[in-house]
Amino acid sequence: MDSLASDPVNQCTATSFEMDSQRTQYPYVTGTSVIGVKYEDGILMAADTGASYGSTLRYKSVERIKPVGKHSLLGASGEISDFQEILRYLDELILYDNMWDDGNSLGPKEVHSYLNRVMYNRRNKFNPLWNSLVLGGVKNGKKYLGMVSMIGVHFEDNHVATGFGNHLARPILRDEWREDMTFEEAVKLLEKCMLVLLYRDRSAINKLQIAKITEEGVTIMPPYALKTFWGFSAFENPTKGAEGSW
Amino acid sequence: MAPVEAATKQHANWSPYDNNGGTVVAIAGGNYCVVAADTRMSTGYSILTRDYSKICQLADKSIMASSGFQADVKALQKHLAAKHLIYQHQHNKQMSCPAMAQLLSNTLYYKRFFPYYAFNVLGGLDSEGKGCVFTYDAVGSYERVGYSAQGSGATLITPVLDNQLKTPSPLLLPAKDAITPLSETEAVDMVKDVFASAAERDIYTGDRVEIVVVNSEGIRREYVELRKD
Amino acid sequence: MFRNQYDTDVTTWSPAGRLFQVEYAMEAVKQGSAAIGLRSSKHVVLASVNKAASELSSHQRKIFKVDDHVGIAIAGLTADGRVLSRYLRSECINHTFVYESPLPVSRLVVQLADKAQVCTQRSWKRPYGVGLLVAGLDELGAHLYYNCPSGNYFEYQAFAIGSRSQAAKTYLERKFETFNDSSREELIKHGLLAVKETLQGEKLTSSICTVAIVGVDEPFHKLDLGTVQELIDVLEAEEAGTSEPQREGDQSAMQEDSPDVAPMDI
């Protein structure tokens, strides 16, 4: 088993009967960017509902934002099956937390730390959970927004985005985000980011969900589509003015 | 799967390591120690966040600054924090900086064959109140020095410190003290300058520099803005 | 000669439905020197009486820091207490490692009680011979718990365990209604007075008692000897000013309250 760990190339070439167990080396069905922002009353998160099998759009109505306990919201990009496994871990975590029945409960900070341990431990076993996770929440009047990557890199920020979102959405967020944004302003900002992602990320689809978490609790809104405009001249002839390129 | 297919990979692959960049510097003086690090965290050409502290107070007079792979760094910090709590329970005192230095070395070497990808400098005051700096590689070899820089900007900063701090050569016999002759404020100004310079050329250094000063009065923290591009 | 047939091992019931070995363990708590705990809404104070085994030796530690937000005072077998304090410390460290937040006190106490309970149901084990007052602060406020060898645990506003703790309990029972709104200083004062009650006339000095506190913005720590002595001196100066009838009141109150069976007495 250890010889496998030290020889990652061999893992791809080994036939299945040579292995007693399989470890994830690449993802199968994946979701694309998730973005999250802090606003006036809490946290808002957005993600589309698409799930791709390579470059094939395999599923069109996958929820990638889920509540965790009373105070947290989890969004995921990456391998969908791994995300659903993580949800099972968290369900158990929250169940055992509730079973104490003592008035204490895990807040977003605790869940974020726990998720980081899970992701990091799995990478230490060379068997990663192939996701980038966004965790947001509010507890005792404190807003919390953080991220965890598949190898355990994690941090907090006022706005976060996974995958393409880090390239395309965060520059917009850095320009336009404010701590005291109202719900309407924040939704508008998220929609602006999601529209850019829809135009430029080929695995993004025009069916997105927005979820919010405040001191009052979680609301995951039903999926909807953005109004798009494909008439930009840049879309009509993308190679114009770039002669010699593809 | 045929070997040929494996060679022509067409899907994402993964590595257990990432380099999240960043530069850390520590300077020891006669009765102080300055530990500094920028607050940018990157992956590849992307910035993940502009406000992540790479500095961790491990004990009363031990400050560690680390760059490298953030997940490993955090695991290392938590491990040392837990070890230090146990130490306090058992000995009823804070660990000294040289003791923490040895613990850090052992902790890194323990993972010699699956290393923590972390590049650390440990600064603080020794039991005599003198400034001390310990510098490490990822697998635990370490040395007490007068100053040190580690991380993505180390190659830019180290020669400047070599030139400016004018500490006695470690080759001199009998050995001379490695602590710098600079005053505390001079050292802090020096740190600000070297970080501003590193941020000019190193894309992994920038946003802000966090400076922690340890002296007999306690611990002081200050921040200076750096280039954000 | 009469011999108890049902007390040779922990797992044997008496026909009356008692577990004698467990009860003996509870007796061990009463043998140890006294430990006292009391809380307001923001602070918990622990105090203990330190008795040296011999004039040539020092006394044993009876108050242990578990984490920044939890501490314990013990009465009974100090060796068992040390083992349990090590267990509590490691539970706190592990929780902090995984969740980056302090372990809620009520959960720590349940884990401790479960550990004690196991020893009452295994033939090859023996119950811990120590009672623990667990003082802690968490999101829900300040807490004081008493954990006993039987695996039972109770939450209190104020409590005392160990030898001659009845006198301290009597004092606390008379005063506890004011504790919730007490200041930190008042709480320490009541703690010292309760300790004084257990001394039965012996002079209260900083050398025979330890005081510790945990509270909002105040991590668990023991007060140093000098601070404790200063507080005792202030108390004595105050007491010199009060009149004798107060003392008589104390006596009658004690007689009235003593028939009350404390929960630990089963």
DSSP string covering C1-50: ----TT-SSTTPPPTTS--HHHHHHHHHHHHSPPEEEEE-SSEEEEEEE-
For C147, phi then psi, to 5°, come to: -110, 130
User: Is the reported ipTM for this assembly greater than 0.85?
Assistant: yes
Catalytic residue among A15, A24, A56, A214: A24
Q: Is residue A10's pLDDT more than 50?
A: no
Q: Which chains touch C (3 or more CB pairs under 8 A)?
A: A, B
Which segments of chain B have a pLDDT < 50?
Answer: 1-2, 4
Q: Do C96 and B82 touch (CB under 8 A)?
A: yes
- Gap from C97 CA to chain B (nearest CA, Å): 7
Q: Which chains touch A (3 or more CB pairs under 8 A)?
A: B, C
Tell me, what's the pLDDT at A234? 77
- Residue A107's domain comprises 34-225
Structure pTM?
0.90
* pLDDT band of A244, cuts 50, 70, 90: confident
Tell me, what's the pLDDT at A22? 80
Q: Identify the helix (H) or strand (E) that includes residue C131.
A: strand C130-138
Residue of B nearest to A120 (CA): B71
pLDDT digits 0-9 by tens, A153-189? 999 999 999 999 999 999 999 999 999 999 999 999 9
Q: Do B20 and A13 touch (CB under 8 A)?
A: no
Which residues of chain B lie closer than 8 angstroms to C67, CB-CB?
85
* pLDDT band of A242, cuts 50, 70, 90: confident
Tell me which residue in B14, B48, B114 faces A150 most closely, judged by beta carbons: B14
Q: Which of B125, B115, B101 is nearest to B213 (CA)?
A: B125
Residue of B nearest to C87 (CA): B86
**In C32-104, where does DSSP find H-type helix?**
78-99
CATH number at residue A65: 3.60.20.10
Q: Is the peptide bond before C149 cis (omega within 30 degrees of 0)?
A: no
CB count within 10 Å of CB A19 equals: 12
Q: Do C106 and A114 touch (CB under 8 A)?
A: no
Q: What domains appear along chain C, each with residue ranges and CATH number?
A: 28-237 (3.60.20.10)
Tell me which residue in A15, A124, A155 faces B52 most closely, judged by beta carbons: A155
**DSSP tag of A18:** G
Tell me, what's the pLDDT at C78? 96
CA distance A150 to B17: 11
pLDDT digits 0-9 by tens, A87-126? 999 999 999 999 999 999 999 999 999 999 999 999 999 9
Tell me, what's the pLDDT at A3? 43
CA distance A241 to A230: 19
Which residues of chain A lie closer than 8 angstroms to B51, CB-CB?
157
Query: What average pLDDT does the segment A181-200 reach?
Result: 97
Interface probe with C: pick from A72, A110, A116, most Cβ of C within 10 Å: A110
Per-residue pLDDT of chain C (266 residues; tens, 9 = 90+): 788 999 999 999 999 999 999 999 999 999 999 999 999 999 999 999 998 888 899 899 999 999 999 999 999 999 999 999 999 999 999 999 999 999 999 999 999 999 999 999 999 999 999 999 999 999 999 999 999 999 999 999 999 999 999 999 999 999 999 999 999 999 999 999 999 999 988 999 999 999 999 999 999 999 999 999 999 999 999 988 875 444 444 444 444 444 444 444 43
CA distance A117 to A96: 18
- A21-35, A131-145, A177-191, B47-61 — which is least confidently predicted? A21-35
Query: What average pLDDT does the segment A6-24 reach?
Result: 55
* Domain-wise residue ranges, chain B: 18-225
Tell me, what's the pLDDT at A246? 57
Q: Are B124 and B214 in contact (CB under 8 A)?
A: yes
Residue of B nearest to C91 (CA): B82
* pLDDT band of A19, cuts 50, 70, 90: low
CA distance C231 to A107: 40
- A88 in a structural domain: yes
Q: Is the CATH number 3.60.20.10 carried by domain B18-225?
A: yes
Q: Which of A90, A215, A194, A48 is nearest to A144 (CA)?
A: A215
Q: Do C89 and B89 touch (CB under 8 A)?
A: yes
**In B92-224, where does DSSP find H-type helix?**
97-110, 154-165, 184-201
- A239 in a structural domain: no
- Gap from C16 CA to chain A (nearest CA, Å): 33
Q: Does A127 touch chain B (CB under 8 A)?
A: no
pLDDT digits 0-9 by tens, A38-83? 999 999 999 999 999 999 999 999 999 999 999 999 999 999 999 9
Task: State how many domains chain A has.
Answer: 1
**DSSP tag of C208:** G
Q: Are C46 and C133 in contact (CB under 8 A)?
A: yes
Q: Is A239 a known active-site residue?
A: no
- A246 in a structural domain: no
Q: Identify the helix (H) or strand (E) that includes residue B85.
A: helix B70-91
Tell me, what's the pLDDT at B116? 98
